[in-house]
Amino acid sequence: MREHNIAVIAGDGIGKEVVPVGCRVLQAAEQAIGGFHLIYDHFPWGCEYYEKTGRMMDADGLDRLVHFDAIYLGAVGWPTVPDHISLWGLLLPIRQTFNQYANLRPIRLLPGLRTPLRGKNNSEIDMVCVRENVEGEYAGVGWRYRRGRPDEIVHQVGVFTRCGVERVMRYAFELARRRPARRLTSATKSNALQYSMVFWDEVFRQLAAEYPEVTTETSHVDALAARMVTHPETLDVIVGSNLFGDILTDLGGALQGSLGIAASANLNPEGEYPSMFESVHGSAPDIAGQDRANPVASIWAGALMLESLGEVDAAALVMAALERVLAEGEVRTADLGGRNSTEEVGNAIVRAALKLGNVLPKPRAMGYIQPIKPQRTRKTQAGTGT
């Protein structure tokens, strides 16, 4: 039997509610499909841990996480801890140190859900964004002079390397060539950012010559955001820098009907390090502890994790169960217009997974992620990242 060791970091707020539900759904798929076993190891890291210890995670946290096959994350952030501390104390060190350079976010209107876009349906909102995830505008390079003075100067430096830009674009090209539409759109702003984005555009054109079967285009990020709203059906795969990808995918979450739907995969495609899978809705302090959070994003992130581990049938089963419950429309959380609790939605999806596992000969694979095959000698110590 195949075994996969999973590091679970529920984190803060509603992360502590949706991750346990996600684990139960994954266990249902494991039971229904068979042939593999998920072994969970839970870590209490996050803002509550920071307020007790002064650290978002243990000093040796990265060296402990490096041995796992994947990381399953809930949400990080809390009003009493500044965002730059929570982000730079946990999420970004994991992404950068483990070289999770490709952030993949599906943007798809699931069956039974309504988008705020008038007249648009499920077939018209089905794209995926590949976001550069370890450098760019979030590289963490900058400085401040003369703090607090009228003549204070602040520098925030975006870092773009040929290696970093080329590898994330190549990942996006490979994804686009596997999808039926075979279209790839590059988000840029080279009219204003005459160094970083001009360079970005040059690398994109160079790689496009290697993929003649993929239709390519370049779009300024502001125009692309407008197009996601007015003509989402014209978009298939989008590749963007760290900042542009972040903004566009949050817009994509809104197009899906709720940020409680949006899932994310932080990928190290070569398998040298574990990849990390998370919902992108945040810790939602206003509803934390009330059993009202939507677990769909966390469950979808779990399906992406299964797909990356090579358990494609189980991943497809999770999505089939999730879509069945949403399409029926009887069990939903408040953000989707329902009255059900987090636990009730999770239980419904568990039941659907167990039921569908007995009747579906082979669910349709999602096809977002090529299975990540860890290198035979995985790094035994956390690296320095990019």
**Catalytic center residues:** 138, 189, 222, 246, 250
Distance CA 19, CA 299 (A): 8
Distance CA 294, CA 192 (A): 39
Distance CA 371, CA 381 (A): 23
Residue with tokens 């307020």: 51
Helix (H) or strand (E) holding 93: helix 92-97
Can you list the positions of beta strands (E) in 47-203? 70-75, 102-108, 126-132, 136-145, 153-159, 183-188
Number of helices (H) and strands (E) in the chain: give both, helices first.
Answer: 12, 12
Which pair of structure tokens corresponds to residue 146?
Answer: 């003369």
| Rg value, the chain, Cα | 20
Q: What's the one-letter identity of residue 311?
A: E
Helix (H) or strand (E) holding 6: strand 2-11
> What DSSP line would sit under 198-221, residue for residue?
HHHHHHHHHHHTT-TTSEEEEEEH
